[in-house]
């Protein structure tokens, strides 16, 4: 059962994006684990059962976040209510304790945003293992007897189950995150942190065909640092790298969330802007140009100024591939550089000329 849940957990990580939808799906997954565990309980006496519900509820708080934990706990509570018996109230209270306490610890320790260590899992295991205290809510003629006979074994089983099962889930999460990082690194420029040419080519091609097939707008801005060779020649390549990284950072702060910024090559940077008109692209390029012109770059204790030139284009009916959009923006960039630099030019001007 544990192996199936771990395999399913890994599959969910690979097939869904991080966010609320994934948390809800994982909540249902851990809820399915609860259902399986509660379907094969150990019957201590009529209406008094022991199962692995606490392990699944506790770990859902760590690996599915509070939304997933609420779903898992709700499934566990419903199942226990349906089972009934004299231990129903105590069982429901135990479930509430586990979900509330483990969510609190998970959120406090930030366990839902990183791979949990064994030390952190131990904290979760400890609070979950206190669930047997709820046995004392049973009728007094049974409570103490059941607690003395089953409390310690149940606490130990819960503690060990959370650690063992949690370790397997943490390993699956760690492998998934390593894969995600490797894929991201393949598409990320190490110096600037921007997307590299490889990732941009795939994205821009898809974005272009979507724009053409669905009749949506798509704009492209090409930016080039003016006289960048002089920076390298005078201050050295390390200084040039510093300028390029800082320029990239400034550009990243002046684009929309859903725009893609790419180090296209050398000191040339591209901004792909879905659902943006030519006017919007020119406005963004101008904001970037002004911000870079006003910035101060510190190299070896000396302040220098840097400017950029930019060209902007937008998808037109005559364009059949992304290369056409790129050529239009590149020609506009060439016009900006050839007419004095530190300016933004439109592909429309080039076309009119």
Q: What confidence score (pLDDT) does residue 77 get?
A: 94
List 262's β-bridge partners, or say none.
195, 270
Of 41-45, 60-64, 84-88, 205-209, which gets the smallest average pLDDT?
Answer: 41-45
CB atoms within 10 A of CB 223: 27
pLDDT tens column, 109-131: 998 888 999 999 999 999 999 99
Q: In whole angstroms, what is the distance from residue 216 CA to residue 266 CA?
A: 31
Q: What confidence category does residue 291 fall into, taking pLDDT thresholds of 50, 70 and 90?
A: very high
Judge residue 137's burial from the number of C-beta atoms within 10 Å of its C-beta, 0-12 exposed, 13-18 middle, 19 or more buried.
middle
Q: What confidence score (pLDDT) does residue 187 get?
A: 78
Mean pLDDT of 37-46: 70
Question: By percentage, how much of the chain surpasses pLDDT 90?
Answer: 67
Tell me: pLDDT of 286 over 70. yes
Largest CA distance in the chain: 96
Q: What confidence score (pLDDT) does residue 189 get?
A: 87
Q: What confidence score (pLDDT) does residue 45 get?
A: 56
Q: What confidence score (pLDDT) does residue 84 get?
A: 81
Tell me: pLDDT of 47 over 80. no
Q: What confidence category does residue 27 fall into, taking pLDDT thresholds of 50, 70 and 90?
A: very high
Q: What confidence score (pLDDT) does residue 324 get?
A: 94
Q: What confidence score (pLDDT) does residue 46 get?
A: 53
Mean pLDDT of 28-43: 86
Cβ atoms of 101 and 128 closer than 8 Å? yes
Q: What confidence score (pLDDT) does residue 260 get?
A: 94
Q: In whole angstroms, what is the distance from residue 197 CA to residue 266 CA?
A: 11
Q: What confidence score (pLDDT) does residue 349 get?
A: 77
* Beta-carbon contacts of residue 242 (< 8 Å; ≥ 6 apart): 297, 299
Mean pLDDT of 271-275: 96
Pairing type for strands 48-50 and 42-45 reads antiparallel
Q: Over the chain, what is the mean pLDDT?
A: 90
pLDDT tens column, 234-262: 889 999 999 999 999 999 999 999 999 99
Mean pLDDT of 48-58: 83
Phi, psi of 192 (to 5 degrees): -100, -20
Q: In whole angstroms, what is the distance from residue 274 CA to residue 27 CA?
A: 34
Q: What confidence score (pLDDT) does residue 74 get?
A: 96
Q: What confidence score (pLDDT) does residue 54 get?
A: 93
Handedness of CA 241, 291, 253, 315 (dihedral sign): negative
Three-state DSSP class for 315? coil
Tell me: pLDDT of 230 over 70. yes
For 231-251, the DSSP string reads HHHHH-HHHHHHHHHHHHHHH
Tell me: pLDDT of 69 over 80. yes
Q: How many residues does the chain have?
A: 353
Q: What confidence category does residue 142 fall into, taking pLDDT thresholds of 50, 70 and 90?
A: confident
Of 44-48, 126-130, 169-173, 219-223, which gets the smallest average pLDDT?
Answer: 44-48
Cβ atoms of 346 and 332 closer than 8 Å? yes
Pairing type for strands 297-299 and 42-45 reads unpaired
Residue 215, phi-psi category: left (phi > 0), alpha (psi -120 to 50), beta (remainder): left
Q: What confidence category does residue 48 fall into, taking pLDDT thresholds of 50, 70 and 90?
A: low
Q: In whole angstroms, what is the distance from residue 92 CA to residue 135 CA?
A: 10
Of 4-13, 39-48, 281-290, which gets the smallest average pLDDT?
Answer: 39-48
Q: What confidence score (pLDDT) does residue 180 get?
A: 84
pLDDT tens column, 189-206: 889 989 888 888 889 999
Tell me: pLDDT of 155 over 80. yes
* CA-to-CA separations, 90 to 31, 45, 86, 153, in angstroms, rounded: 20, 14, 8, 17
DSSP E strand stretches across the chain: 42-45, 48-50, 218-225, 260-265, 268-274, 297-299, 302-304, 308-314, 344-346
For 35-102, the DSSP string reads HHHHHS-EEEETTEEE-SHHHHHHHHHHHSHHHHHHHHHHHHHHHHHHH-STTHHHHHHHHHHHHHHH
Cβ atoms of 145 and 45 closer than 8 Å? no
pLDDT tens column, 83-96: 887 878 888 999 99
Mean pLDDT of 328-336: 95
């Amino acid at each position: 059962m544990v192996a199936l849940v771990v395999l399913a957990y890994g599959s969910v990580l690979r097939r869904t994006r991080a966010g609320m939808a994934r948390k809800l799906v994982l909540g249902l997954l851990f809820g399915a684990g609860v259902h399986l565990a509660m379907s094969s309980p150990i019957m201590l006496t009529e209406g008094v059962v022991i199962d692995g519900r606490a392990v699944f509820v506790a770990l859902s708080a760590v690996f599915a976040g509070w939304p997933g934990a609420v779903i898992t706990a709700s499934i566990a509570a419903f199942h226990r209510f349906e089972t009934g018996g004299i231990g129903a109230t105590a069982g429901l209270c135990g479930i509430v304790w586990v979900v509330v306490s483990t969510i609190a610890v998970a959120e406090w320790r930030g366990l839902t945003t990183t791979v949990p260590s064994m030390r952190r899992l131990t904290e979760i295991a400890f609070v979950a293992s206190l669930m047997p205290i709820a046995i004392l809510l049973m009728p007094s003629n049974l409570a103490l007897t059941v607690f003395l006979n089953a409390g310690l074994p149940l606490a130990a089983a819960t503690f060990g189950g959370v650690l063992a099962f949690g370790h397997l889930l943490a390993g699956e999460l760690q492998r998934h995150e390593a894969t995600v990082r490797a894929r991201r690194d393949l598409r990320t420029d190490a110096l600037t942190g921007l997307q590299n040419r490889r990732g941009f080519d795939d994205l821009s091609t898809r974005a272009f065909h979507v724009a053409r097939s669905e009749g949506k707008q798509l704009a492209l801005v090409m930016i080039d640092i003016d006289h960048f060779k002089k920076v390298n020649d005078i201050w050295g390549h390390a200084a040039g790298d510093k300028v390029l990284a800082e320029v990239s950072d400034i550009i990243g702060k002046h684009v929309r969330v859903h725009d893609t910024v790419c180090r296209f090559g050398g000191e040339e940077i591209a901004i792909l802007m879905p659902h943006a008109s030519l006017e919007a692209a020119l406005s963004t390029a101008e904001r970037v140009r002004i911000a870079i012109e006003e910035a101060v770059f510190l190299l070896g204790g000396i302040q220098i100024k840097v400017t950029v030139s930019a060209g902007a284009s937008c998808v037109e009916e005559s364009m059949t591939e992304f290369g056409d959009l790129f050529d239009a923006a590149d020609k506009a960039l060439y016009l900006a550089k050839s007419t004095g630099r530190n300016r933004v030019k439109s592909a429309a001007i080039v076309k009119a000329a």
